[in-house]
Amino acid sequence: MQPEGTITATLPPRGRAIVKRFRAGDQVAYLVTFIFASAIILITGLLFIELYRSSALARQQFGWHFLSARIWDPVALQFGALPFIYGTLVTSFLALILGVPLGIGASIFLAELAPPSISDGLAFLIELLAAVPSVIYGLLAIFTLVPLVRDYVAPFLESVLGFLPLFQGPSYGVSLLAAGAVLAIMILPFIISISREVLLAVPREQREASLALGATRWETAWRVVVPYARTGIIGSIFLALARALGETMAVTMVIGNDPKINASLFAPGYSIAAVIANEFSEATSDMYLSALIELGLVLFCITIIVNAGARLLILGITRKASAHS
């Protein structure tokens, strides 16, 4: 291992210093990791730029009107995003209405009321549920949930709440209602596991003080722990909303894929992600493709905003918790 020493010996002092610094390797290691970390920024930036650039044709043609137009007719090159935005929002909010009470109830049980030995096992199962791929939710939903909605849920809702326009009209099973229900099931594990973590981060003294004052377990959970963790729980709901907005496969398989705005939840609809999934590889003209990419840009912006909100809220609560401990 002689050569290394002889090379440095022949270099002038300044060169020797540089070689020494690089031999030590800290600069090199810093540079390499820095480049890879910067690559992440580059990729994210590129993602936005590509979406923006590739949708230029549609953006110039339709302008902001793209968001408010109701006609989607690829043959006549008429592209309006409103039916898809409507479908995406309706199914996502339906998912929240169905999923949030269940999710928060379950997370309170797991974090506060259940004995720890049971709680850990159940939380593990919830994590597994979160890992189930969305195409599998879709597969099951087509063959179980859709017939269930068509034959039982829709007729029942119509007989009870039929005076509302939301619950009128024929039911084919594939519908906004079915899509909302699948989404509710899919976001459930996210709400539960994040809310549970947020609840567990609440300082112990809060519970002990409340219990010492004679409150029951439920009163402690509901009036002390939950209010303390409120922002974090809302954050978990936002995160779930972002998931629901961007969810593609399960929704595509049960929403019915019909670009119309119907008041009835029993009617088929269409979501932004679903129309991209269905029509992208068949888009024949540049304008068609560009309009689909603009839909992607819209979806990207919506989910980014919702996600950022969620992160801020969750960050707030964990910081508060760590400040206390």
Partner 1 sequence: MMSHAVRRKATNFIMFTLTAICALLAISVLFFILGYLVWQGGRSLNWDFFTKLPTPVGETGGGFANAILGSAKLLGLASLIGIPIGFIGGVYLAEFGGSTWTFVVRYMTDLLNGVPSIVMGIFAYALIVIPMKHFSTFAGGAALGIMMIPIAVRTTEEFLRAVPNNLREGALALGATKWKAVVTVVIPASMRGIITGIMLGVARVAGETAPLLFTAFSNRFWSPGLNQPTASLPVMIYTYAISPYEDWHQQAWAGGLVLLALVLITNIAARIILHRQTHTAQG
Q: In terms of CB distance, is 154 or 276 closer to partner 1?
A: 276
Nearer residue to partner 1 within complex by CB, 154 or 192 = 192
The CA distance from 138 to 125, in Å, is 20
Closest CA to 234 of 314, 302, 127, 319: 314
Q: In the bound complex, what is the minimum distance in angstroms from residue 197's beta carbon to partner 1?
A: 14
- Nearest alpha-carbon partner for 69 in 80, 59, 85, 84: 80
Amino acid at 227: P
Query: How many residues sit close enough to partner 1 to count as binding (CB under 8 A)?
Result: 85
Selected binder of partner 1 within 4, 70, 71, 144 (CB under 8 A)? 144
CB of 163 to partner 1, least distance (A): 29
With CB under 8 A as the contact rule, the residue among 90, 95, 96, 106 that binds partner 1 is: 106
How many angstroms from the chain centroid is the CA of residue 132? 15
- Shortest Cβ distance from residue 194 to partner 1 (Å)? 13
Q: Closest CB to partner 1 among 143 and 152? A: 143
Q: How far is the CB of 55 from partner 1 (least distance, A)?
A: 9
Encode 283-301: b = buried (16+ Cβ within 10 Å), e = exposed: beeebbbbbbbbbbbbbbe
> Rule CB under 8 A: which of 206-245 touch partner 1?
216-219, 222, 242, 245
User: In this structure, how many other beta carbons lie within 10 angstroms of the beta carbon of residue 10?
Assistant: 8
Asked whether position 51 contacts partner 1 by CB under 8 A, the answer is yes
- Residue 109 in the binding site for partner 1 (CB under 8 A): yes
Q: Which two tokens stand for residue 89?
A: 């929002």
Residue 264, both tokens: 């009835």
- Mask: binding to partner 1, 240-279, rule CB under 8 A, as x and -? --x--xxxxx---x-------------------x--xx--
Distance CA 293, CA 125 (A): 37
Which of 69, 139, 148, 166: binder of partner 1 (CB under 8 A)?
139
Contacts of 162 (CB under 8 A, 6+ apart): 168
- Confirm or reject binding of residue 136 to partner 1 (CB under 8 A): yes
